[in-house]
Amino acid sequence: MAQSPLRTAPAPAARRTTLSHATPSGGIGRRAEATVTVGIADREVLVRGGIRAALEPAHGIDVVADTGDESAVIEMTLRHRIGVLLIDSGMAGTRGAWVTRTVRRLSPSTAVVVLASAPGGGHLDRVLRSGVAGCLLKSGNPQDLVAAVRVVARGGAVLCPEAAKHVLDSVARIDTERVERARGLIGGLTPREREVLGLVAQGMANGEIARALHLSEGGVKAHISRLLTKLGCGNRVRAALIAQDAGLTEGLPADRT
């Protein structure tokens, strides 16, 4: 008979130590007078064993199950009422972080911590956006893993320095791409259309724009209609956001015809 991919740990009474009696203020996995139940999901047997060895001696932490099979993660989490799920980034990132999102949806009290071999990679970006409570490197210090489990069990979040840098770099890259795209769109406008757009972004009505630029309201409406078409926008609000991204609201000079 084939061996089941899901392995449940024995639960000796000696390890079930009661935590502080302080009343929790809410958050993922936060419970009074309860041991933190941990589940491990990683394809590598030695990795799972190493994580067990780091966590099992820790006060108030109980590793109740582990699996190397992606399809067993959700069932394991629900069956054992996992408080903190430690999951390999490759397993969590498969199919656009479907596993992680499903765990969070079916078991909202479970805090998910991703264990990554390296901080980079597109799949890690997807996982971090799927509602995880943290990300750690597998090469990290075992004491950091114990501390992280306790932090996320109390409703906190953890990121190793490498993952934090990756997140910040990603945010900066996204911001840069958005600005460059907006500037590219603005570059297709005439100088007068850029002027009109800058005033639209400041919240001016058509009459105010007409007076400021010495135009008729009909002329302003015509300019706005053309610039919305060029920007691919359906309304003034979206156009104003593009103007802000491009810097038109920061006092940048605009040529006039």
Q: Are residues 85 and 137 in the same domain?
A: yes
Q: Domain total for the chain?
A: 2
pLDDT of 205: 84
Residues in contact with 10: Cβ distance below 8 Å, sequence separation at least 6, in sequence order: none
Q: Are residues 10 and 82 in the same domain?
A: yes
Calculate the alpha carbon distances from 109 to 93, 104, 133, 138 in Å. Answer: 20, 8, 11, 24
The domain boundary, picked from 160, 193, 215, lies at 160
CATH number at residue 34: 3.40.50.2300
Distance (Å, rounded) from C-alpha 165 to C-alpha 170?
A: 8
pLDDT of 201: 87
* pTM, two decimal places: 0.59
CATH number at residue 205: 1.10.10.10
| Torsion angle of the four alpha carbons 23, 27, 31, 32, in this order, in degrees rounded to the nearest 10 | -10
pLDDT of 175: 76
Q: Are residues 154 and 28 in the same domain?
A: yes
Angle at 124 between CA 122 and CA 125, to 5 degrees: 65
Inside any domain, residue 57: yes
Inside any domain, residue 166: no
Residue with tokens 């090469």: 139
Q: What is the pLDDT of residues 50-103, one digit of tens each?
A: 999 999 999 999 999 999 998 899 999 999 999 999 999 888 766 657 888 889
Distance (Å, rounded) from C-alpha 257 to C-alpha 254?
A: 10
Q: Are residues 154 and 198 in the same domain?
A: no
Q: What is the pLDDT along the chain (257 residues), one digit of tens a residue?
A: 444 455 545 444 333 322 222 233 344 444 444 789 999 999 999 999 999 999 999 999 999 999 999 889 999 999 999 999 999 988 876 665 788 888 989 999 999 999 988 766 556 667 777 788 888 988 888 999 999 999 999 998 888 877 777 776 776 676 788 888 899 999 999 999 999 998 988 888 888 899 999 999 999 999 999 999 999 987 888 888 888 888 887 654 343 33
Domain that holds residue 207: 174-250
Inside any domain, residue 144: yes
Q: Are residues 218 and 117 in the same domain?
A: no
